[in-house]
Structures are given as C-alpha cells and as structure tokens.
Structure 1
Amino acid sequence: MAVEGGMKCVKILLYVFLLAFCACAVGLIAVGVAAQYVLSQTISQEATPGSVLLVVIIAVGAFLFLVAIVGCCGACKENNCLMITFVIFLSLIMLVEVAAAIAGYVFRDKVMSEFNKDFRQQMKNYPKQNHTGVSILDGMQENFKCCGAANYTDWGNIPLEPKGRVPDSCCINVTQGCGINFKVKDIYTEGCVEKIGVWLRSNVLVVAAAALGIAFVEVLGIIFACCLVKSIRSGYEVM
C-alpha cells in the first residue's frame, strides 16, 4: 500500500510537470516566433546561425507540446508503451535544447557580425527604397534611437538627396525633412549595429538560459515518468 500511495503521488506530480511542459512549449514557440520576426526585419532572409537556431527553438516547442500530450495519455491510461515513448522523446528534446543553448552562446557574436553586414547593405540600398516612404531601416533607427551603422556619419557615404542629409528617422523628433541641414544635437548620433547587436545577443542568451532551465524541469519529468513505468511494469494499481 505504501508503494501504491507513493505511485499516486508520483502520478499527480507527473501531471503537474506535464502541464508545466505545455506552458514551456507555448513559451518556446512564442519566444522563437517573436525573435524570428525581429531577425527577419534586421537580417537578410538567407539561412544564418541565428535564424536556424530560432527555427530549432520553435520546432522543439511544438514537438514538446505533442510529447506532453503523449505523456498525459500514457499516465491517464497507465499505458507502458506510451510512457516509454514519452521518456525517449523527452530525453531527445532535452538533448536538443542543451545543444541549442550551447549554439546560442557560441554564435552570439556571429549574429552581430551578420547584422552589421546586412545593415550596411540596407543603407546602400536605402536611396532606391526610400520612395515608398516606409523602410525597415527607418523603423530600426526610430525604435532603437540610433543613426547609421557605427554612427550618424556613415550616412555621409550614402548618396542621399540633398547631399549631406540623414534620413528623417535619425531625428529625435521626427518630422518631414528634419534630416536636411540637421544639427547634431537634434539627431541620434549612436550607431545602430552596436545597440541592436547588443539587444540581439542578450535575447539569444535569454533563449539559451530558458532552454537550460526547461531541460532541468524535463529531467525531473523523466524521473517521475520512469518511476511510473516501473510501477506499471510491476503490476501495481495506481488508480
């Protein structure tokens, strides 16, 4: 009876962890989608270590949600096959998350390097795109309160009309034509590469830390699931 009562407790705890897994899965998907959206606005659409890492995070989140459902079904029906499947898949997910966390740390500087290259390319293309009135680059400069790649003087190398101006998005108070004959005190002087690069790296580290934290919770889930599998195999009644 003591074992039976203990297995009931383990089963309840497993349900709690499965609910936590579902929440973690939704969180991973949300963070991955949000970060992927930001990267798509700041980095070229080519496959990069940063973008690939985020795709892995989203895929892991979706797979974790499905695995949690399998675990719920296995625990509810006390199905040995489903519980073993749950343990195997959860172990694989944990290994992928740890690998993703390590990759996020290793490639944090690579993401910034890619952003630097693509930002400068967008600056070169800016004169051709500016006729639309709305530019991704303008949005970045306004939102991050920056101007140019390294600093505002980078725009001096871009053939804007009239010569010597900066985009209006560099202005502290954005108005039509404020970038023409500007005064330095009226514009943002810091470069966007450093400001946005720091933001990107910090968010990659947040995702990596979250993945490691979730992996720790999954270890506990695996332990409880293994205990339940052992109980089912031993033929104990846990209901």
Structure 2
Amino acid sequence: MNKKIIASSVLIILTIVIGYQFFELDIFNRVTAEDLRLKGKTIMLDPGHGGTEQGAKGIKHGTIEKDLNLKVAKNIKKELEERTDAKVIMTRDTDTSILSGTDLKKELQARVDLVKKNSADIYVSIHHDAFQDTKAEGITTHYAPSRSQDKKLAKIVQEAIFAQKIDTRNRGVRASDYLVLKENTVPAILIELGFTSNENDEERMNSEEFQDKSKKGIADGIINFLSRR
C-alpha cells in the first residue's frame, strides 16, 4: 500500500514539475501586448527608386514602380505607427532621389547611410519586379548572403505576407548581392511585391485588397521579428 502511495506521489510531482516547465517555456516565448508596441525600436522603410529613376513600368496599366513603391511604403508606415510605438522612418516620402545628380551606387549607399544615421534596428526596401518572360510572377523577399538574422527576417516577413492568403506565387526568400543589403549593418531585406511585366501581377498589385493585405503582412512580419530580438 505504501509503495502505491509513494509511486502515485512521485507521478504527481513529476507531472507538476513538467507542466510548470512547459508553462514557463510558453511564458518565455509568448509575445505580450507590451512587446508589440516596440517602444525604442526604429524601422527604416525604403521605397525603391524615385526622382529620375522610375524603376520598372507595367505592360498593361503602365504602372510606374517608383510611385507604387512609395504608396506601399506609406501604407506600411501608417500600419506600423497605428499598431506600435516604434519610430518609423522613410528614406523618401516624395518622388525624389536621396542624392540627386549622382550615380546609382552613391544613391544606394546614401540609403544605407540613413540607416546608420538614424540608428535603425532593421531596414526594409520595397520594390516591384519585372522580367522579359511575362509569365514570371509572384513575391520574393531578398536578403544578403551568409547573414542569418537577415535570412530570419526575410522568412518571417515572407510567411506573414502569405498568411494573408494572397493569391499569387510564393517565390520564397533568396540570398542576393544587392548593395542596400550587403552594405547594411542591421538586418535588411528587399521585398519584390510582384512583376509589373505580368498582367495578373500588375492588376493585383494595384488593387486595394492586395495593398491592404500586403501592408498588414509586412507589418506583422516586422513586429514578429523585432518583438523577439
């Protein structure tokens, strides 16, 4: 009888200890409402191109990439400011270059320098793609090769975008040698939100539904990443 009581007592104690460990683990990993405010964090949003650099042009609606990049970045900025206390800075908020009259490399470096100047925690560049093959479609998120935090950010944001049930091809994340990524000293990604050279993608990227879902998805990914750093 005593052996049965002892065995039962040991089992109960083990159950409590294991349960408590899982409870602690859950508390440790849980993102609280306070975490989501991201107070003290600085996010740099970079609408690609601007000024004389218009980027890609849509084949069906004549979408000018630089204009759409700016619109999307403004949407994301507003979403982040409404949901967090983070400081959200844009490399440009009008149709202009960062360094007008300079070559492309200096222009891109100036965007990276703004990250350093403002002590940003992450950098997110917004673009829309184009390709000779008009069948190419979908969303890709790029990160600098051999940088684990950048890759982690890219994966989190890409997954968050498609969690919004966006009806297009998920092209995944890709290691790319873009200057704005490799020269950054903070986690940095470049998102291509579809192909202006694909009729369906161009139609989609200009729709209010897509723009609403993409801003929410990108904001979700940024919040998810920063709340765990």
The TM tier, using the shorter chain, reads under 0.3
Normalising by structure 2, report the TM-score: 0.24
Q: By percentage of residues, which structure has more helix?
A: 1
Q: By percentage of residues, which structure has more strand?
A: 2
Normalising by structure 1, report the TM-score: 0.23
Indicate the structure (1 or 2) with the bigger Cα radius of gyration: 1
